[in-house]
């Protein structure tokens, strides 16, 4: 990742502050640091006496934050949010008053042509949040069977043309394996009929599915939702912003079935029309909030 300034715009910023009841003196956990937008908002409201512990599994995001957020009451660590208990233990913090998880990829990751998240990127189709961990997407496409690929694309992307896409990927790799995001996007666009009523790119669901599979995002979410409430103080709140139905369903079911939590938002909180006009990437955001009992 280059050293250009962050382009990340925090989603549901006002709503996050209000529903988490952020105030001076609190300890706040930002489990998905990203471009640091929400972290900076928290820093503006917790002083005097407050502190923020922010983590991200992307080393580039952590490195950028150490510079852009320097001077603020923030401890930054390279870690997954499912490992927040270990991060807190390492700095001798027992409880948090508020936790935010803003799921998915950040604008900075999307615009970095070397990461493979963007449809037209010429760099390698990597898609890993942490490039030192796991298997890049291009390698996954090169070794999995058509049946396995179709299952990933259907279950994680809810793409009804998953079998057609998977067959084309396997046929293509016999002569010319897919190595870039642009290669994959062009292949998927040939497989998925584009409705004039749909504004999203036909490759959207396939890219989502591969990103989730490469980073094991749904497993990470389930583990995090199971472990994090134990480190919330009584009355402390956790907010989760998701961007598609798979994540939101996991969050809703976890909050409903957890005896440690009381649900604050009976319906999801969505961005206003004004916010969507300012930041189109916020249009699919939905937030749920629960409180430690």
Query: Residues 93, 123: one domain?
Result: no
- The answer to whether the pTM exceeds 0.85 is yes
Of 173, 196, 217, which residue constitutes the final position of a domain? Answer: 217
Residue 2 lies in a domain: no
Of 174, 189, 217, which residue constitutes the final position of a domain? Answer: 217
| pLDDT (0 to 100) of residue 197 | 67
Query: Residues 171, 223: one domain?
Result: no
| pLDDT (0 to 100) of residue 89 | 97
Query: Residues 227, 272: one domain?
Result: yes
Long-range (24+ apart) CB contacts under 8 A made by 42-51 are 42/17, 42/100, 43/69, 43/72, 43/73, 43/74, 45/17, 46/22, 46/73, 47/73, 48/24, 49/24, 49/25, 50/24, 50/25, 50/26, 51/27, 51/75
| pLDDT (0 to 100) of residue 2 | 45
CATH number at residue 257: 3.40.50.150
| pLDDT (0 to 100) of residue 56 | 96
Query: Residues 101, 129: one domain?
Result: no
Range of the domain at 208: 114-217
| pLDDT (0 to 100) of residue 198 | 67
Query: Residues 60, 103: one domain?
Result: yes
Query: Residues 128, 262: one domain?
Result: no
Query: Residues 98, 137: one domain?
Result: no
Query: Residues 21, 97: one domain?
Result: yes
Query: Residues 97, 226: one domain?
Result: yes
Query: Residues 103, 178: one domain?
Result: no
| pLDDT (0 to 100) of residue 3 | 47
The dihedral region occupied by 127, where left means phi > 0, alpha psi between -120 and 50, and beta the remainder, is: left
Residue 55 lies in a domain: yes
Of 170, 186, 217, which residue constitutes the final position of a domain? Answer: 217
Residue 3 lies in a domain: no
Residue 152 lies in a domain: yes
Q: What gap in Å lies between CA 130 and CA 132, rounded to an integer?
A: 5
Query: Residues 89, 127: one domain?
Result: no
**Number of structural domains, the chain?**
2
| pLDDT (0 to 100) of residue 8 | 61
The one-digit pLDDT tens for each residue of the chain (293 residues) are: 444 445 568 999 999 999 999 999 999 999 999 999 999 999 999 999 999 999 999 999 999 999 999 999 999 999 999 999 999 999 999 999 999 999 978 878 887 888 888 887 788 999 999 999 999 999 999 999 999 999 999 999 999 999 999 999 999 999 999 999 999 999 999 999 877 666 788 999 999 999 999 999 999 999 999 999 999 999 999 999 999 999 999 999 999 999 999 999 999 999 999 999 998 888 999 999 999 99
Query: Residues 243, 173: one domain?
Result: no
| pLDDT (0 to 100) of residue 280 | 86
């Amino acid at each position: 990742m280059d050293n250009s300034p962050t382009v990340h715009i925090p989603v549901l910023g006002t709503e996050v502050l209000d529903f988490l009841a952020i105030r001076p003196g609190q300890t706040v956990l930002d489990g998905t640091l990203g471009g640091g937008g929400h972290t900076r908002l928290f820093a503006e409201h917790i002083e005097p006496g407050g502190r923020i512990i922010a983590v991200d599994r992307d080393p580039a995001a952590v490195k950028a934050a150490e510079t852009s957020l320097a001077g603020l009451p923030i401890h930054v660590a390279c870690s997954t949010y499912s490992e927040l208990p270990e991060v807190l233990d390492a700095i001798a913090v027992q409880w948090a008053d508020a936790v935010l998880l803003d799921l998915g990829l950040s604008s900075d990751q999307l615009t970095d042509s070397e990461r493979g998240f963007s449809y037209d990127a010429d760099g390698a189709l990597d898609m890993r949040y942490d490039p030192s961990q796991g298997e890049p997407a291009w390698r996954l496409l090169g070794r999995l069977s058509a049946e396995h690929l179709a299952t990933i694309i259907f279950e994680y992307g809810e793409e009804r043309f998953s079998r057609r896409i998977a067959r084309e990927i396997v046929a293509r790799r016999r002569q010319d394996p897919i190595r870039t995001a642009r290669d994959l996007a062009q292949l998927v666009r040939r497989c998925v009929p584009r409705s004039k009523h749909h504004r999203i790119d036909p490759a959207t669901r396939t890219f989502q599915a591969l990103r989730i599979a490469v980073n094991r995002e749904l497993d990470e979410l389930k583990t995090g939702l199971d472990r994090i409430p134990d480190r919330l103080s009584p009355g402390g709140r956790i907010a989760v912003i998701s961007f598609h139905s798979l994540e939101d369903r996991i969050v809703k079911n976890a909050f409903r079935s957890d005896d440690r939590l009381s649900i604050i938002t009976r319906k999801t909180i969505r961005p206003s029309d004004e916010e969507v006009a300012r930041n189109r990437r916020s249009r699919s955001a939905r937030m749920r909030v629960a409180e430690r009992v």
